[in-house]
Amino acid sequence: MQGGSARANHCADASGRAITPLVIAAGGSVNAPGAHANLAGAPSAGVFLSRPALTQPAAPSLKHRLEYLGLVVARGLLRLMPIDMASWVMGKLWRLIAPRLHRHPRALAHIARAFPDKPAAEHERIARAMWETLGRVAAEGFMLDRIAADAGRIVLDVAAADGAFAKAREKGAIVASLHSGNWEVCVMPAVGLGLNPAGVYQRVQNPLVEAELLEIRHRFYSGGLYPKGPNTVRAILSHIRKRGTVTLLADHRDIRGLVIDFLGGPAWATRAPAHFARSFEVPLVVGRVIRTGPGARFRIEAEEIAVPRTTDRDADIDAATIAMNARFEDWIRERPSEWMWIHQRWVKSGDPLPEKGQGGL
């Protein structure tokens, strides 16, 4: 919402449970129970703390510069439009173009594995709706500041995680999410909930594009953004010791992780979230973003995953990893068109067997 004061409407879900709206006033201040910080203006110090210890990337190539030019042009054109229009346009473009590309058959195969009883026409419908979702996410990624500043676009339903967030404010937490709805939005309430989020991300090969994407996102991560690499674990441990919250996407393929039953077949699962939660005795929270519409409007849900604490540490981590992915699977089956089916999560012939006790980072 541009200008004016923030407003909120109290809502309830289909079961009648009260849902707390996240209200973000113009300028980024958060009005929610426990909110006390500026969201859009969250401190950016520390965003590049892990960079000095990493190998410096090579100078950008001509290809990098052309890719970056395309990104800047796309961002400029999309930001000329209102949020909902940009989201709609990009969603329809992806829905039209992406099914003609090589990743579409992979998505269909994954959907068919998960839903063998559904007809091929339904698999196709889910895949095309997925592409539209991904197109919307791409456009909304350039509008994160506007989404955060527009009151009423994000509604919080995190009552199931209230206890975990209370602990997190005292000693930190691990928050894991998945590529569904618009995962970029999931971190937005964190500062307003009294947390100090740091993010872990996969580096982009193009250093110019990576710098641009970090510039867009860093305001939401008061604890910094850290690329996966040799120093990631050290940065995470340091942040948790400072009672910080670490956020990461945990639905990707990790051949150093655990093989589990997932969406119709054996799949690789990262043990990292459960590993950190178990090792540092902090809560493990899973969250998802649901697209509620019209346009770029969302509901964020979160709940705590129980982490066993027996004498067998590795078994505890495995049990929590399985429980976390079971929740992910429930969410994906509930709203299949909002998940990224193009990921290769499942075990392939020739994959190495994981070693016991690996953490996945």
Quote the pLDDT of residue 359: 53
Q: Which residues contact 109 (CB under 8 A, 6 or more apart)?
A: none
Per the listing, tokens 């618009």 go with: 182
Give, rounded to a whole angstrom, the gap between the first and last alpha carbons of the chain.
39
**CA torsion through residues 126, 129, 135, 140, sign:** negative
Quote the pLDDT of residue 45: 32
For the chain, the structural domain boundaries read 11-58+151-338
**CA torsion through residues 129, 338, 250, 266, sign:** negative
Residue 166 carries which side chain, given as an amino acid letter? Answer: A
User: Among 51, 36, 141, 42, which Cα is nearest to 90's?
Assistant: 141
Quote the pLDDT of residue 357: 52
Q: How many CB atoms lie within 10 A of CB 185?
A: 26
Q: How many CB atoms lie within 10 A of CB 62?
A: 7
Residues 217-262 have pLDDT tens digits of 999 999 999 998 888 888 988 999 999 999 999 999 999 999 999 9
Instruction: Report pTM.
Output: 0.82
Burial class (CB within 10 angstroms; exposed 0-12, middle 13-18, buried 19+) of 136: buried
∠ CA(128), CA(131), CA(134), 5° rounding?
155
Q: Which residues of the chain have pLDDT under 50?
A: 1-55
- Is 32:192 a contact under the CB 8 Å cutoff? yes
Quote the pLDDT of residue 49: 34
Torsion angle (degrees, nearest 10) of CA 58, 59, 62, 63: 40
Per the listing, tokens 């990262």 go with: 270
User: Among 180, 224, 209, which Cα is nearest to 342's?
Assistant: 180
Quote the pLDDT of residue 351: 79
